[in-house]
Structure 1
Amino acid sequence: MPDWSYHSIFKPILFRLPAKLARNLTLQAMGGLSRMPGGTFVIKTMGHFEQSPVLQDEIAGVPIPCPVGLSGGLDPQGTAHKALAQLGIGFIELGPVTVREVRCDEAIVRVPEQEAIVYADGYANDGADAIAARLRKGTGHRLPHFVRLRPMPGSSPREALLQQQELLEKLAPYAAGFYIDGLAEGWPPDETLAYLREVRQLAAAAGKPALLYVPPQLPEGTLRELAAQLPGWSGVAVGEALREEDSRRIRVGGSGVLSAQLSLVRRLRSAGAGTIVAAGAVSQPQDALELLAAGANSVQLHSGLVYAGPGLPKRINEAILYERIRETEEPQPPSFWANWGWMYLLGLSMMIGGVLAWLIASTSVLLPYDETFLGVSRSVINRFNGHIIHFMSHDRITLAGTMISIGIFYSQLARHGLRFGLHWARTALMASCTVGFSSFFLYLGYGYFDPLHAAAAAVLLPMLLLTLRGLKDAPSRKPPGVRNDRVWRRAQWGQCCFVVLGFGLAVGGLTIAFVGITSVFVPTDLAYLGVSAQQLAEWNERLIPLIAHDRAGFGGALFSLAVAIAGSALWGVNQGESWLWWTFLWGGIPGFAAGLLVHFHIGYTDFIHLLPVYIAVLLYASGLYLMHPFLVRRAGKGTETDATTTTAETATTTAEPI
């Protein structure tokens, strides 16, 4: 469920359902997919987040692959942890955890205007035994867990201390570290401080890092009293929720929590706190950057994943990565002949070959070796049926247009992607080339060997092999988009159009290739020709193999183009990548022009036959229109602020700290 599908398809549906039902459906769907064979591969493919060594960090000595964590309240049963671990999460909080189960069957409430979520009970959890049993079975991922330990509601400090000792004993084998909760239990300050000192000693005896869990609106006086204790803790986790007055209801997210966290993080950093984890209130990459700039070492996500979408961890990591490398010296890109230049030449060769194929298909149509194979000339075929040559022309012109489109994508992805080490561009190119070269064998489906296609493959394959030499991945040096503004949300719809277009073309290419190597014709083809397949075979037994070769070849080429389009749309849509918008524009024109113009030129205008093309053109035009401001406008330049964000930034809260 990447952002482009979440915002355009799933979120409008889910937000019409009760919040708890929507959450359960989403988590069960993601968790179910991750447990299926190949499920995590699908999730990784759709999200395509590549961990960079530059993002590696630690929390109180515990190594983490990136400084973006998952809040315990988002998925309290761990239903989708295995799936979420593939999206750019570096660590996972479990909790709050109490010694016994705390049930809450009341509804979860969304507050969309503030991008907040209200829970009826901040203590709700399955209890230590159930959580330990779940961890004992395995989680399906290798990310470290930080367990938030909380006293049972209404406990005294002495009771809470005994509970924490029990929790530590039960959960220490499965935890990388602990968040120690208790500052919001309403105890007298001196008893609270004494409780924290004793719990810290218990955690130290367990041999695991212990971070003090601090409410997001900690009074200045309490912070001064805690200051002397802070050096004894492994770090501090700044809480994610505000509690309503005289209630166990909590509100997660919203500007009130974010502003309180920013203030508290600065105060804690000034007070000498070590590791600081800022939990919750992050709904866009800019929020995370502000918390890190204020002094946090890492952030945790909760409500932001609900409102911004599952792509938020990846976007935050990309923003952090850019900030970490922006001041470093930019490596020199490889020379043209090192690797990427060969792919550029391969694309250029495809364009030249496509133009030549278009010229031939629009004039003589048949090459001399085609006539030799058939044993008859073009004029003889025309005397038998005047539509056959036109029909073959329509197959070959559409193939030619597709070749030109592929060439444009390959050359652009090489120049702007491979040249600068963009992993997604390499993946898209290699997947498309693998499909394209493999489709050569489809030409043999009916026993017709095309020497020109074989010669082209023999020339192009070495270029592909030379491209593979010394390819290295490197992070993008372009500033990413960091705000969930209207331009970004509009681009999600445009990205959805192009992803659907890519997958639609893939289905079309596979269908055409399959038809080409089996029945060869669809009913509308025979209606246009005015003869049956049997009559064609009876007239010349080699005619159908020749047509099959054209159809299978076009199907394979279309599938190869579809992979390039889908890969670029899935992984390459980042703010300011104007070259990609122009690649979509110019890369689509030859294919669509060939597919439409030749049909009208030869009079093959059956509406049902052309309906997929009409739908594809609509998706193509809509996607270009919707993505233009996001791709062409540079990140941070004239970004339009969303009204919802503005409202959230100015909203105030009367909630008490939890």
Structure 2
Amino acid sequence: MLYKNIAKPVLFRMDPEQAHHLTIDGLHTVGNVPGGRRLLRAMYGVRPCPELQTELWGIRFDNPVGLAAGLDKNAKAVPGFSNIGFGFMEVGTVTPKLQEGNEKPRLFRLPPDAALINRMGFNNVGIDGMKRNLRNQGHRSIPLAINIGKNKTTPNEQAEDDYRACIRALYGYGDFFVVNISSPNTPDLRNLQHGDDLSRLLAAVIGEIQAQHAKFGGRQKPVLVKIAPDLTPEEVEYTVATIDRSGVSGIIASNTTLSRDGLSHENRKETGGLSGRPLTERSTELIRTIYRLTDGKLPIIGSGGIFTAEDAYEKIRAGASLVEVYTALIYEGPGLLRKLNDGLKTLLRKDGFSRISEAVGSAHRSK
């Protein structure tokens, strides 16, 4: 109620990107003092529940709801986000070199559609800046994924060099990595989802992961691939098969969409990637398809239009082992996380499941 009645009206009167930076800066400040972290846990924290705990790739997740990439692009507020109820979080997308991104304005709200459109263009402080932020911050209590991409000026033929540079610089700081080849806001980036480019890129990424594992020891860190929701059925089949053969650890479905179907707000005319409620069913259907194509053997993180526990549960039943939110957090505030977790517990019990892992892909088994 505090967010919806006080914070949101103030933030929604501001330019969206200005509000974004204010939120990140506030979480950075509060999350980097012990008293602040305790306050965040008291206000928004989610109590661990055995039913919602799961393990993937040797990593324990206290609950299946994570923060999608794009909100904390520079890993500036990791301790803050770690204490408001997330089960894990993604930071980035980060590129090797600092990048200003596209011209402003580049972030737009569509309130009647419960959506956002962004054309940020991988604005970030680069691998050195992210490394500095992660090194200088306080303790984090949840698994951290680092979402990596290529600089705008790097041609696709040399893209693998950028992805390898990100892994090489940040391997010691993340629990797993996400290869972003699906943002619509970097020219030609989505072309890396197709053909020999994808095979070559993933081979290079896996090779770098293995090289860093040999250097650091311990558990080899997982790497996932984030794909677009706008692929044709034939493209989905080919892309998923290529990813499956590559040896990566999983898929995130999905990134933002270029579709504008059913939108009512005037900002629908803006270019960029659309996220939020209009993506709910599209991303769930993509999860369903990936699960079917891989016989449920390749873990999926579901992202796109999750506003309610029912939305999250549908993605889990379709085949997602974990889920991520972003746009709903902007519209609903941090209280969303407690609602999602409480709702998921209720839905699990209703269907007779004792663990979240038992519900993964259950829609396929019930057919």
Q: Same fold (TM over 0.5)?
A: yes
Deviation digits for residues 301-326 of structure 1 (CA, Å, limit 9, x no counterpart): 11110111211111111122223334
1:487 corresponds in structure 2 to none
- 3-state DSSP of counterpart to 1:218: coil
> Which structure is richer in relative contact order (CA contacts within 8 A, separation 6 or more)?
2
Which residue is 1:233 aligned to? 248
Match of 1:50 among 44, 47, 50: 47
Residue pairs, 1:286-305, within 5 angstroms: 286-305=310-329
Q: In the alignment, is the contact (CA less than 8 A) between 1:285 and 1:316 conserved in 2?
A: yes
Select 1:253's aligned residue among 276, 286, 289.
276
Q: Deviations over 1:430-473 (max 9, x none)?
A: xxxxxxxxxxxxxxxxxxxxxxxxxxxxxxxxxxxxxxxxxxxx
Q: Which has the higher strand share?
A: 2
Which ranges in structure 1 are unaligned for 5 or more consecutive residues? 331-658
Distance apart, 1:234 and its partner CA:
0.7
> Which structure is larger by alpha-carbon Rg, 1 or 2?
1
Match of 1:130, SS? helix
| Structure 2 residue 306 is matched with structure 1 residue 282 | yes
Residue 271 of structure 1 aligns to which amino acid in structure 2?
L
CA, structure 1 residues 203+34, in 2 after alignment: closer, same or farther (shift >3 Å)?
A: closer
2:269 matches 1:263: no
Matched residues in 2 for 1:228 and 1:26: separation? 39
**CA spacing shift, 1:198–1:132, aligned 2, 3 Å:** same
Pick closer, same or farther for the CA change 1:300–1:48 going to 2, 3 Å.
closer
Q: Decide which structure has greater helix share.
A: 1
| Alignment match, 1:73 | 70
Cα deviation 1:375-423 (Å, max 9, x = unaligned): xxxxxxxxxxxxxxxxxxxxxxxxxxxxxxxxxxxxxxxxxxxxxxxxx
Cα distance change of structure 1 residues 234 and 133 upon mapping to structure 2, 3 Å threshold: same
Matches within 5 A, 1:418-457: none
Q: State the AA in 2 paired with 1:145.
A: L
Pick from 7, 29, 32: which aligns with 2:29?
32
**Using the alignment, how far apart are the partners of 2:7 and 2:241 within structure 1?**
49
Any conservation in 2 of the 1:151–1:160 contact (CA below 8 Å)? yes
How many Å apart are 1:243 and its aligned residue? 4.1
Query: Does the Cα contact within 8 Å between 1:98 and 1:127 map onto a contact in 2?
Result: yes
TM-score, reference length from structure 1: 0.46
TM (norm. structure 2) is 0.81
Taking every aligned residue pair, what percent have the same amino acid on both sides?
A: 25
Alignment match, 1:135: 134
* Contact 1:122–1:250, Cα closer than 8 Å, also in 2: no
Q: Deviations over 1:602-622 (max 9, x none)?
A: xxxxxxxxxxxxxxxxxxxxx
Q: Which residue of 2 aligns with 1:532?
A: none
The separation in 1 between residues aligned to 2:43 and 2:99, in whole angstroms, is: 37
Query: Out of 4, 8, 17, which is 1:11 matched to?
Result: 8
Structure 1 residue 297: Cα displacement: 0.8
Structure 2: runs of 5+ lacking an equivalent: 183-188, 213-219, 261-269, 355-367
Give 1:327 shift. Answer: 5.2
- Is 1:185 aligned to 2:190, yes or no? yes
Can you list the C-alpha shifts for 1:575-630, whole angstroms capped at 9, x where unaligned? Answer: xxxxxxxxxxxxxxxxxxxxxxxxxxxxxxxxxxxxxxxxxxxxxxxxxxxxxxxx
Amino acid at match of 1:242: T
Instruction: Give runs of aligned pairs for residues 484-523 of structure 1, distance below 5 A.
Output: none
1:283/1:307 contact within 8 Å kept: no
Corresponding residue pairs, total: 325
Alpha-carbon contact 1:157-1:195 (below 8 Å) kept: no
TM-superposed CA distance for 1:170, in Å, is 0.4
Confirm or deny: 8 A CA contact 2:79 2:137 kept in the other structure: no
> Does the CA-based 8 Å contact 1:217-1:261 persist in structure 2?
no
Deviations 1:497-520 (A, max 9, x none): xxxxxxxxxxxxxxxxxxxxxxxx
Q: 2:331 aligns with which of 303, 307, 312?
A: 307
Q: Distance in 2 between matches of 1:83 and 1:99?
A: 25
